Amino acid sequence: MKYMLLINSGAIDAEGGAPGCTPEDWMTYDKSVRESGILVDSHSLADLVTATTVRVTAAGERLVTDGPFAETREVLGGYYVIDVPDLDTAIDWAARCPGSLDGGSVVVRPIADFEV
Amino acid sequence: MDQQPAESVRASVEAVFREERGLLLASLVRRFGDLDLAEEVTSEAMEAAMIHWPVDGVPDKPGAWLLTTARRRAVDRLRRDKTYAARLAVLQVDASRAEQGEPADVSGGLPDDRLQLFFACAHPALHAEDRGALTLRCLAGFTTPEVARAFLVPVPTMAKRIVRAKKKIREARIPFRVPDVDELPQRLPGVLQVVYSIFTEGYAASSGPELQRLDLAEEAIRLARILRRLLPAEREIAGLLGLMLLIHARRDARTGPGGELVLLDDQDRGRWDRSMIEEGRSLVLVALSGESPGLYGVQAAIAALHDEAADVATTDWPQIVALYDVLFALTPSPIVALNRAVAIAMRDGPEAGLALLDEFTDEPLLRGYHPYRAARADLLSRLGRLPEAAAAYREALELAGTEPERAHLQRRLNAIDPETTCE
C-alpha cells in the first residue's frame, strides 16, 4: 500500500530551513528510508519564493501569479512516497521524519488505487 | 438436540448472538482482513441461525456453528466477486508481512481476537467521535440505531459517521493488530478513553430528560472486563474497571423517586451496591500496586474513599486532597483543579475552597462549565453570602444540560432565594 508523506515545516529560519533539525538529521532519515526498501519516490521542494500559481478561468484565460505565499505558518517543503503494509507502519515513518518535529507536521495520505 | 418452541429458540439465538457477535466479528476480521465483509457474513450467519435452529434445534456449540456458517458465506462471496477477492488477496499478503500473534484466549468454541478489533476501533487516526460509535457497534454488538440512541444523534447522522469511519479503516488501511509492547503505552490510553466515554455518556447523558442510561454504563463495564481478561498485566485497565464499578455502585441512590438528581452528599448510602464496591476496591489495590499509578487508578482510589465513608462528614478529605494532588500532577486540567478545590473546601472550610475557585474566573475551560458555577454557588451559600450564591446558581442554570441537573440547581436556588421566579 502506497502512502504519501507530505512534509510541512513549521517556522522557517533565515536560510529557509526548519529550525531544530540539522541536515545530518535529514540525511540519516533519508538513508534509513532508502535502505529499508520502502521508497517509491521522494523530493524536496525549492524555496516558496520560487513558486508560481496558475489558474484558468471558465473563459479559458490563464491567471498566473507569483506565490502562493504562506498564509499559514505551515509550508509544504517536500514529500516521500513509501510502500508499506498499513497505516500504522506509515505513521511510524512519519513520526521518525525530522519534519514532524519543532512545530512541523507530516500529513499521511494513502495513494488512491483505481486498479481494483 | 431437542426440538424447542420457536419463541424460546428466537430468544436464545438473540442471546447467543448478543454474547458472541463481537467474538464472531473479530474472528472473521482476522481471517479475511475486511470489516465490511465480516459484518455482512456475521449478519447472514445470524439470519441462517434464525431459519435453521427452530427446525433443527440449537447446536451444541452455537458460536462455532455461527463461525463456520459465516466463513462459508464469506468464501462463497469471494468466489462470486473476483475483484473483491483480488483486493483481499493483496491485503492478506501485506498482513502476512506484519507479525500475527495467536489468539489470546479461547471461549465458547470461538477464539478471542477482539483485542485487535478494540485497537482498530479506537485508532487515533479515526475521528474522535467515531471511535466510541465503532466500538459499540463492533464489540458491543449494537445496531446502528442503538448506537445513534446511545450518543443521542439521529440515525442517519450516525449511519454516515459509521460509514465514514469504516471507509477510513478500509482505504487508509488501518490495521487489525495489537500494538507491540513498546507501542502499547501510547495506544492503550486511547482504547480506555473510548470505553470510559461510553460509560460517562451512560452515567450522565450530556443532555436530554434521562440522566442515567444504565445499559450504556453496564456495556462499558462489560467491555472493560473483556479488556482486563485480554490484557491482565495492564494496571490501568484494573483502574478503569474499578473506577466505573465504584461510580456505578451508587446508581440507585443517584436519582430520587421523581427522577431528580441526588448529589453524593444527599444520597442514601444504604442503597449503594456493596458487592460492586468490594469488587471496585480490590481493583484499586491492583491498580495502585507498583510504581507510578495511572489516571484511572488514582480516580478509582478517590471514588473508593467516597464509597467507603459512612457520610460526607467522616469522608477522608485529607486523603482525597492528596490523591487530587497526584492526579493534578498527572493531568494538570482545570477540571481536576476544580475538584481539588472542592475537596480542599471540605477539608479546610468553604473560605479556602472559594479562594481557590475564584482563581479560575478567567479560565476558558471552566467559564461555560456548570459544575464550576454550581460549586461556587454552594460554597457562597455555605458562607451565608446568599445574593452572590443565588447569582451563581442562576449562571449554572443557564449552562446545565440535563433536566434533572437543572431541577437540582433550581431547588438549590429556591432554597436560598424563595422569591425567585426564575424557571
Share of chain B above pLDDT 70, in %: 87
Contact A85 B98 (CB under 8 A): yes
| Residues in a beta bridge with B158 | none
Q: Which residue of B has its CA nearest to A84?
A: B94
Chain B residue numbers touching A1 (CB-CB < 8 A): 94, 173
Q: How far is B75 from chain A (nearest CA, A)?
A: 19
Q: Which long-range contacts (CB under 8 A, 24 or more apart) does B276-280 make?
A: B276/B245, B276/B246, B276/B248, B276/B249, B277/B245, B277/B246, B277/B249, B277/B304, B277/B307, B277/B308, B279/B242, B279/B245, B280/B241, B280/B242, B280/B243, B280/B245, B280/B246, B280/B249, B280/B304, B280/B307
Q: Which residue of A has its CA nearest to B94?
A: A85
Last residue of a domain, one of B44, B74, B98: B98
How confident is the model at residue B124, as a pLDDT? Answer: 95
Whether residue B210 is found in the same domain as residue B127: yes
Please tell me whether residue B58 adopts helix, strand or coil conformation. coil
**Angstrom distance (rounded) from CA B369 to CA B395:** 10
Q: Which residue of A has its CA nearest to B90?
A: A1
Query: Residue B77 is placed in which grid cell?
Result: 462471496
Whether residue B207 is found in the same domain as residue B180: yes
Whether residue B124 is found in the same domain as residue B45: no
The closest of B185, B302, B298 to B238, measured between CA atoms, is B298
- CATH number of B83's domain: 1.10.1740
Whether residue B52 is found in the same domain as residue B124: no
Count of Cβ atoms closer than 10 Å to residue B61 Cβ: 13
Contact B94 A110 (CB under 8 A): no
The closest of B124, B105, B126, B127 to B114, measured between CA atoms, is B105
> Is B92 touching A (CB cutoff 8 A)?
no
**What does the pLDDT average to over B362-390?**
91
Please tell me whether residue A58 adopts helix, strand or coil conformation. coil
**Strand-strand pairing, A39-44 and A75-83:** antiparallel
The closest of A9, A20, A6 to A106, measured between CA atoms, is A6
Contact A88 B94 (CB under 8 A): no
Burial class (CB in 10 A: 0-12, 13-18, 19+), B84: middle
ipTM computed for the complex:
0.84
Total number of domains in chain B: 2
pLDDT digits (tens, 9 = 90+) for B167-188: 999 999 999 999 998 899 999 9
pLDDT digits (tens, 9 = 90+) for B53-98: 888 888 888 888 999 999 999 999 888 888 777 777 766 655 554 4
Last residue of a domain, one of B231, B264, B281: B231
Whether residue B143 is found in the same domain as residue B215: yes
Whether residue B51 is found in the same domain as residue B119: no
Q: Is residue B176 situated within a structural domain?
A: yes
pTM, two decimals, is 0.84
Beta-strand (E) ranges in B93-177? 105-107, 110-112
Give the right CATH number for A2-110 from 3.30.1310.10, 3.40.50.720, 3.40.50.920, 3.30.70.1060: 3.30.70.1060
**Angstrom distance (rounded) from CA B412 to CA B379:** 12
Query: Residue B51 is placed in which grid cell?
Result: 431459519
Q: Is residue B40 situated within a structural domain?
A: yes
Q: Is residue B375 situated within a structural domain?
A: no
Q: Is residue B258 situated within a structural domain?
A: no
Phi, psi of A44 (to 5 degrees): -100, 155
Whether residue B84 is found in the same domain as residue B4: yes
Query: CA separation (Å) from B86 to B26, B28, B79, B92, B166?
Result: 22, 18, 10, 10, 20
Q: Is residue B256 situated within a structural domain?
A: no
> A28 pLDDT exceeds 90?
yes
Of residues A47 and B195, the one with the higher pLDDT is B195
Q: Is residue B297 situated within a structural domain?
A: no
Last residue of a domain, one of B169, B200, B231: B231
pLDDT digits (tens, 9 = 90+) for A51-78: 899 999 999 999 999 888 766 667 888 9
pLDDT digits (tens, 9 = 90+) for B296-352: 999 999 999 999 999 998 999 999 999 999 999 999 999 999 999 999 999 999 999
Return the C-alpha torsion angle B393, B399, B403, B404, nearest 10.
-50
pLDDT tier, B107 (very low <50, low <70, confident <90, very high otherwise): very low
> B33 pLDDT exceeds 70?
yes
Which residues constitute the domain of residue B154? 113-231
Contact criterion met (CB below 8 Å) for B132 and B194: yes
Q: Is residue B317 situated within a structural domain?
A: no
Contact A87 B125 (CB under 8 A): yes
Q: Is residue B119 situated within a structural domain?
A: yes
> B421 pLDDT exceeds 60?
no
Sole residue written with cell 500559481:
A53
